[in-house]
Each structure stands twice: as C-alpha cells, then as structure tokens.
Structure 1
Amino acid sequence: MYVPTHFAESNIDVLHQLMRAHPFATLITMSSAGINANHVPLHLIPEAGQYGALQGHVARANPVWSDLVHEVEALVIFQGPDAYISPSWYPTKQIDGKVVPTWNYITVHAYGTLRVIDDPAWVKNQLESLTTQLEASFEKPWAIADAPMAFTDNMINAIVGVEILITKLVGKWKLSQNQPALNQAGVVQGLQSLKQSEATELASAVEKAHKKAR
C-alpha cells in the first residue's frame, strides 16, 4: 500500500482500536488458482506476539483453508470510515480555484501466515470471544449457551478455525493532513452536513488529526 509520510499511522494502540471497531475484514490469500479474497469477521488478540493475532472461522466448504499455498503471507484489510471529499468544501476554492476532489479514508493492513485450526473446542472458544465482543453493546447480549448444545455443536462442525499471528501492521489515515487548516475545517463541516454515521465518524477523525498536527 502506498502511504505518504503525512498519512502514515504507526501507533499500535490506534491500529488495534480501528481493527476492533471494524472487525469485518477482507482476508487475502494465495490459492492454487491464484489470489483469493474472503470477507470474514476477525477477533483481535492484542497480547499475542509483537503486533497481536487475528482469530476467526470460515465455512468448511470454503476452499480458503484447504487450498492454501503453504507458508505464503496472508494479508488482512480492515476498512474504517471513508467518504468522497468535494472541492466545494474548501474555502480556498473561492481564492484561486486550485482545488480538486479526493477521497478520505482510514485503513489497516495486517500481514502474517494463516494457520488452520480444525478443532471444535478451539472454534467454540473463538466464537464465544467474538460474540461476546460484538454483543457487548446490546441490552440483552446473546451467548452461544442460549442455543441448544446439539444445534451449536452441529453448526461448529461445519466451520474451521483460522489464526494469523501478525508480523507487520501498516496504517493509513488519509484525513486531509495535506490541506491547510482552513480547508480541513471545511472538510469537517462538509462531512457533518451529510448527516450520515460514517461521514460523522470520519469528520471526527479529520478533526482529531488536525489537532494532533498542531
């Protein structure tokens, strides 16, 4: 991934926060037929290794786990908020007109070798960890134990566990850092005017990046 210095984010805690907030990731691997991409929720284990580990599961019928080119690095992409940035939001447009559209976004790329774990006990533990995280904000969180054991055991037998020990993390926070403060403020206002949750989240990130750069 191309990452200009002013868009780079290397703080592991910040990268982990994005990965936890947006756990539905794109898992890219190499199969015998070439590059393969799958979309799966992944649970971050921050204390594992230098950069943490990612744990998840895939359908047993999915060849991503059985058709791997062994010892080839996998890439996992976590996508944060993103939005089109209109040049009309830049106050400098009124000064010289030298503005163009762009796209602001936040993303994290995690690298590591994928390990297959075909163990029902491990898979059940991973599912419990993942659902506990994702259900935490609900008034009445659902738990695996709420469903009949025979039913969940049957479902677990239909999936396979995967784990990636992260060996490299790359973060890109493209948040108008290359624009003057006047235009950054215009971007925040423009994103907020859209009244969309993702745009509002991105506006907060732009504002935070602006304050950090001062």
Structure 2
Amino acid sequence: MLFNPPRFAYPVSAALEMMQRLRFGTVVSIDNNELQFSHLPLLVDVADDKLLRLRGHFARANPHSKALARNPEATVIFNGPNAYVSAQWYTKGNPAAPTWNYVVIHVEGRMKLAATDAETSAIVDDLIRVNESELPTQWRLEDYNPARRAALLPHIIGFEFEVTKLDPKFKLTQHYGDADKRGAAAGLLTRGTDDAREIAELMLSTCSKDGDKPGADITSHLAKS
C-alpha cells in the first residue's frame, strides 16, 4: 500500500501523461513469500482519459514471468522527477524544515502473459514504433532481418497488465503558501537539473490563481494522520 495523504492530490490526467512519457516501470509481485522485481519498458494504453492497460515483455529466462503465471497480482511503479527542497528558499519566518518532493505512480492489477508468439510480436512492434516516433529519424522495423527476429522471439514473452487501481502521488508541498512555493521553485531552478526544473514547474502549478494563498501548518495535517 502506498502512503498517500489527501493533501498531495493532483489531477489524474497529469499522472497518465507522465506515465506515457516515462514508458519505463518496475513490476513488483510476491511469490512463495519472496518479492520479485523487474524493470521494464512499457506501453501505457489510455482511452477517454482512463488508463486501460500496460503492455510489455519479459525475457523468458527471467523467473519473474513464471512467478506471475502462478500468482498474477502485481504492482507497477513509475518513478517520476524528484528533488531536494532547501528550507532557505521559503519566506522569512516560515518554520518548515527541508523536504524532498517527488512524483511516483503505482498501478495495481493482474498480469496476463501472452499465449502465442504472435501476441508477443505485436507488443514488441508497438514498443518500437512508439519509442522510435520521438526520434528525428526512425529505424525501420520492416528492415530488420526476419531470420534474426525469428531466432530472438522465442526468448521473450509479452504481457498485458490489467489495471485494477491507479494511485498517483504528487508530493509537491501543496499545503504551503504560494509565496513559499514560488521561493522553492526559484531555488530549484538554480540547480540546473531536469528533475529540479520539473519539480519546480509542478510546484508552481499548485499555486492559486491570484498567487497569494497562505499556507497551512503541517502540524494540522499531521494531527489528522
């Protein structure tokens, strides 16, 4: 279970967009009282602003696929940007401590392994096309040596992950005042990293329209936990 206080609520549409941009996650399950982990490229299928399924493939040599055949329940974790936030960036007199802001998305569901090589082949084709589409020039799938492909295909197994729960957590100190969030965002931008820039932009997106909303003392939130 992911600890996800209500104060970290953020639009689900942003979580879907981030998952489709990341396209890489960690599959976690349990088998015979042992945790299993696999880090995999993924297709994120969305329709009508709803997450339909995830798709990808395992190496057949990976025992995780056999464990999921026995117990298909799993969680897929997408790790988004994260960054340290220094307390020096808040407004003067703010008693808040330093923190670490981040985005993580948990997807719970059931793994359905491909029954045929044709199903696996279709998933591989979609993975290649989606990822190649972002490049200025694309590698042509049609030009790949058919004999080489036929030799490799039996060594992987595709899957569809049927989603039962989507649990995105955007920890962006949403309960802080707008002035504090603007100060923290400015500080983050001085770091010069992609993660810091993205966290700064996300924090600014939680500011009120008029930009002067006061913050809430964290102790008031902790008392409700």
1:100-119 equivalences in 2 (<5 Å): 100-119=97-116
Contact 2:4 2:169 in 1 (8 A): yes
Kindly provide the amino acid, as one letter, of the partner of residue 67 in structure 2.
Answer: D
Gap runs ≥5 in structure 1:
none
Q: Percent identity of the aligned residues?
A: 29
The answer as to whether partners of 2:44 and 2:51 remain within 8 angstroms in 1 is no
Partner of 2:220: none
SS in 2 for 1:176: coil
Residues 178 and 208 of structure 2 are in contact (CA less than 8 Å); yes or no, is this contact kept in structure 1?
no
CA deviation after TM superposition for structure 1 residue 211, in Å: 4.4
- 2:127 alignment partner in structure 1: 130
- Contact kept, 8 Å, 1:32 with 1:69, in 2: the verdict is no
Counterpart amino acid of 1:204?
A: E
CA distance in 1 between partners of 2:195 and 2:201 (Å): 10
The question of whether the paired residues in 2 share the 8 Å contact of 1:25 and 1:79 is answered with yes
CA distance in 1, matches of 2:143, 2:88: 52
Return the match for 1:147 from 120, 144, 148.
144
| Secondary structure, aligned partner of 1:51 | strand
- TM-score normalised to structure 1 length: 0.89
Tell me, what secondary structure is at the counterpart of 1:157?
A: helix
Q: Structure 1 residue runs of 4+, over 4 Å off?
A: 211-214
Q: 2:217 aligns to what?
A: none
Do the aligned residues in 2 keep the contact of 1:25 with 1:39 (CA within 8 Å)?
yes
Cα contact 1:30–1:69 (8 A) shared by 2: no
Query: Within 5 Å, which residues of 2 pair with 1:10-89?
Result: 11=12, 13-32=13-32, 34-47=34-47, 51-68=51-68, 70-89=70-89
5+ residue gaps, structure 2: 214-225
Q: 1:186 aligned to 2:209? A: no
SS at match of 1:127: helix
Alpha-carbon deviations, 1:35-63, whole Å to 9, x = none?
Answer: 11111111012239x63101000101001
1:72 deviates by 4.8
Q: CA deviation at 1:66?
A: 1.0
Partner Cα separation in structure 2 for residue 103 and residue 168 of structure 1:
26
Please tell me the root mean square deviation across aligned C-alpha atoms, in Å.
2.1
Q: Which secondary structure state, in structure 2, belongs to the residue aligned with residue 64 of structure 1?
A: helix
Distance 2:135 2:164 in 1: 33
Counting matched residue pairs gives: 209
CA–CA distance in structure 2, aligned partners of residues 10 and 32 of structure 1:
37
Aligned to 1:175: 172
Structure with higher RCO (Cα < 8 A, 6+ apart): 1
